[in-house]
Amino acid sequence: MCGIVGYIGPKNAYNVVLKGLQRLEYRGYDSAGVALYADDELKICKTKGKVSELVKKCEKENITSGHIGIGHTRWATHGEPNDVNSHPHVSNSGDLVIIHNGIIENYESLKKELTNRGYSFESDTDTEVLINLIEDVKKKENVKLGKAVQVALNQTIGAYAIAVFDRNKPNEIVVARLGSPLAIGVGEDEYFIASDASPFIEFTNKSIYLEDGEMAVVRLGRNIKVRKIKNDKLIEPYVQELQLSLDQIEKAGYEHFMLKEIYEQPEAIKDTYRGRMLPEKGLIRMAGIDDNIEKFLNARRIIVIACGTSWHAGLVSEYLFEDFARIPVEVEYASEFRYRNPIITEDDVVIAISQSGETADTMAAIKIAKEKGAFVFGVCNVVGSSISRETHAGAYTHAGPEIGVASTKAFTTQITILTLIALKLGKQKGEISNSQFHAYLNELDSIPEKIERTLQTNDAVIKVAEAYKKAKNCLYLGRGHNFPVALEGALKLKEISYIHAEGYPAAEMKHGPIALIDEMMPVVVIATKKGHYEKVVSNIQEIKSRKGKIIAVVTEGDTSVKQMADHILEVPDTFEEFTPLLTTIPLQLLSYHIAVMLGKNVDQPRNLAKSVTVE
Ligand code: M6R
């Protein structure tokens, strides 16, 4: 969580940093702040609220220029989101200034020691402790800033991506990372620092991604030196050429990123399978799988670890792996997995799914699985992310940047990748015949066009949203492959419209949730033709007889459910295994329109952040 930006060079650092913070606001938006060095003075402006509030405050206070600057947009961990707790934080002498994404776990004991030595603290944050610890080391050991940062970080426990500068030496920024991402944009005569490349992509496509446990002194007129925090060992930095474009991170005429991302799904899915799935040749080729095929074919079981929407994609994959490849699958919340004592062996394949590739719980679970000898395969969207580097092998979803906090295209592209893997393994294991395999590939190839058709039902979805926007609760039911879609639909509604919603396997309704059903309860039921259609129809009747309001997602041309439901939303026919890729779409649109009608902040819902880098 939290976004950090820094700049050093000939441009006005204020403009670069503030624009960068706007791009990183998806990472947290409780408060924002900037530190600039201009006219021999360190100037700081910070405020509770969004970056737009910060812009107003900076303009009012005339803090709008500098050749070096750092900025922060915060998702609060320590201390309530107010002006004082906002970053940047300054050391007691007023010389050093820091921005920090992460948590210093032992900050209380460090704070006590520093207090005993005469330091005082204005805020409740762990970050203010860290900057004073750095100052303390710098003074005591009479060392340069880089060395002081290194020594201080070796006394901390926790996670961080930090940027620090000294007002007495305003030509360098010291950066370090452990557990939180940090990229350095390398320009001609300038450097950028950011949590991801979006703040600097319009200026340079060259980036150095620091690895965990690395730090760098970013100084004008000198090549970047990267060192290990632990032992000061010098490391040759790898300068990566990025493929990201500015268009990809802008709204392109849509009112919200979420809507843009919903509509991008047909193309995103094509990008996911392009070059990997060759229907005319009857082939799926994926380097990460091909290179490790024996591991997958001999796997005793697959364990999927993920959080949130990615966990829902994992649940969909359980049905796919079991159907296509006959491999036993367990799907685990990464946060539970890491704190249990999971039984994992070298014969297990672990698949870690994460859009951001930075989720702290998923990262920790990967480390445990690796320690126990499992082969770990990553499914990430963000190229170069921590999880993509930590795993033994992997496949990118290639969905393009997902900025809306509510995950949409990440979900369907994750399902697409997992479908490709399951089909490939099923074919290699002889569980799927040649003709079936061809049929599956051709059908998968038609999914983007079927999503286009589903998106055309938007007007029907708006009517449903209008009818239920005032609901206080909502149930989502699905069976088989569409049970995880019910969970995902409910999550989408909760997170952006703040309406309480629960997803259930349809048959579970009679074991408790049915008690909630009355004429005030909208129930979204996924009732596509294939699979458990008849059973779901019975569930719909049960709801109907208790006067619940039924919104049914059905296959085009369905007449039976139409007679019972209050509203229907149609999706094209497809193989049962691929229905989640279609049934998800109206549910995403429904939550989107309800949230817009309720005047909620769709792209940045309260209390959430796109990338959850705290436990
Ligand atoms: O980046 P990840 O896929 O690891 O993120 C996992 C969850 O935090 C994420 O899916 C979250 O649940 C979304 N806000 C859901 O829309």
CATH of the domain at 10: 3.60.20.10
| Least confident span in 101-115, 135-149, 343-357, 523-537 | 523-537
Residue 342 pLDDT more than 90?
no
Q: Residue 443 pLDDT more than 90?
A: yes
Residue 608: inside a domain, yes or no?
Answer: no
Are both 296 and 441 inside the same structural domain? yes
293 in the same domain as 429: yes
Residues 25 and 72 in one domain: yes
The catalytic residues are 2, 610
In this predicted structure, what is the pLDDT of residue 482? 96
Q: Nearest C-alpha to atom 12 of ligand 1 is from which residue? A: 308
Residue 614 resides in a domain: no
Our mutation pick for probing the ligand 1 site, out of 261, 359, 363, 414, counting the most ligand atoms within 8 A of Cβ, is: 359
Residue with tokens 């445990």: 368
CA–CA separation, 376 and 332 (whole Å): 14
Share of the chain above pLDDT 70, in %: 99
Nearest residue CA, atom 14 of ligand 1?
406
Q: Position 564: which residue type?
A: M
Residue in the structure block whose two tokens are 């426990």: 157
**Residue 71 C-alpha from the chain's centroid:** 21
In this prediction, residues 164-192 reach a mean pLDDT of 95
Residue 74: per-residue pLDDT: 85
Q: For the whole model, what pTM was predicted?
A: 0.81
Question: What's residue 42's pLDDT?
Answer: 96
Q: Are 307 and 612 in contact (CB under 8 A)?
A: yes
Element (H, E) at 365: helix 360-371
Say which residue the tokens 């070096």 belong to.
Answer: 68
The predicted structure's pLDDT at residue 546: 87
Outline where DSSP puts E strands in 307-387.
329-333, 348-354, 375-380
What are 259-268's pLDDT values in tens digits? 999 999 999 9
Q: Provide the pLDDT for residue 367.
A: 95
- Co-location of 449 and 348 in the same domain: yes
Whats the size of the chain, residue-wise?
615
Pocket test for ligand 1, best of 335, 356, 397 (most atoms within 8 A of CB): 356
Within a domain: 158: yes
Could you tell me if 415 and 503 lie in one domain? no
CA dist 312 and 438 (Å) reads: 27
- How would residue 513 be classed by pLDDT, with cut points 50, 70 and 90? confident
**Of 454, 477, 501, which residue sits at a domain end?**
454
Question: Same structural domain for residues 328 and 383?
Answer: yes
Contact partners, residue 339, CB within 8 Å, separation at least 6:
none
Q: Is residue 476 part of a domain?
A: yes
Residue-level pLDDT at 538:
87
Measure the CA–CA gap between 191 and 206, rounded to whole angstroms.
10
Last residue of a domain, one of 454, 486, 506: 454
Answer yes or no: do 261 and 176 share one domain.
no
For ligand 1, the distance from its centroid to the CA atom of residue 468, given in whole angstroms, is 26
* Alpha-carbon distances of 467 from 36, 220, 521, 563, 567, rounded to whole Å: 50, 59, 12, 18, 10
pLDDT higher than 80, residue 303: yes
**Structural domain total, the chain:** 3
Q: Do 24 and 198 form a contact (C-beta atoms < 8 A)?
A: yes
User: Do 279 and 195 sit in the same domain of this protein?
Assistant: no
- Within 6 A (CB) of ligand 1 lie 307-310, 354-356, 359, 362, 405-407, 491, 495, 608, 611-612
For residue 488, the model assigns a pLDDT of 98
End position of a domain, from candidates 414, 438, 454 = 454
**Domain identity same for 421 and 466:** no
Q: What domain range includes position 23?
A: 3-248
pLDDT value of residue 519: 87
Residues 339 and 432 in one domain: yes
User: Taking all residues of the chain, what is their mean pLDDT, rounded to a whole number?
Assistant: 94
Question: In the prediction, which pLDDT does 29 show?
Answer: 81
Query: Ligand 1: distance of its center to the CA of 347 in Å?
Result: 28
Residues 301 and 393 in one domain: yes
Largest CA distance in the chain: 81
pLDDT band at 167 (very low <50, low <70, confident <90, very high): very high
pLDDT at 436: 96
Q: What is the DSSP string of 248-277?
A: GGS-TT-SSHHHHHHHTHHHHHHHHHTTTE
Nearest CA to ligand 1 atom 8: 308
Instruction: Please give the number of the atom of ligand 1 that sits closest to the Cα of 492.
Output: 16
User: Distance (Å, rounded) from C-alpha 162 to C-alpha 100?
Assistant: 4
pLDDT, tens digit (0-9, with 9 covering 90-100), for 465-505: 999 999 999 999 999 999 999 999 999 999 999 999 999 99
Q: Output phi, psi for 374, to 5 deg.
A: -75, 155
Please check whether residue 303 lies inside any domain of the structure.
Answer: yes
Q: How confident is the model at residue 232 (pLDDT cuts 50, 70, 90)?
A: very high
In a domain? residue 607: no
- Are residues 162 and 18 part of one domain? yes
Q: Considering the domain boundaries, does residue 615 fall inside one? A: no
**Distance from C-alpha of 529 to C-alpha of 557, rounded to nearest angstrom:** 10
CA of 353 to the centre of ligand 1 (A): 10
CATH at residue 567: 3.40.50.10490
Residue 609 lies in a domain: no
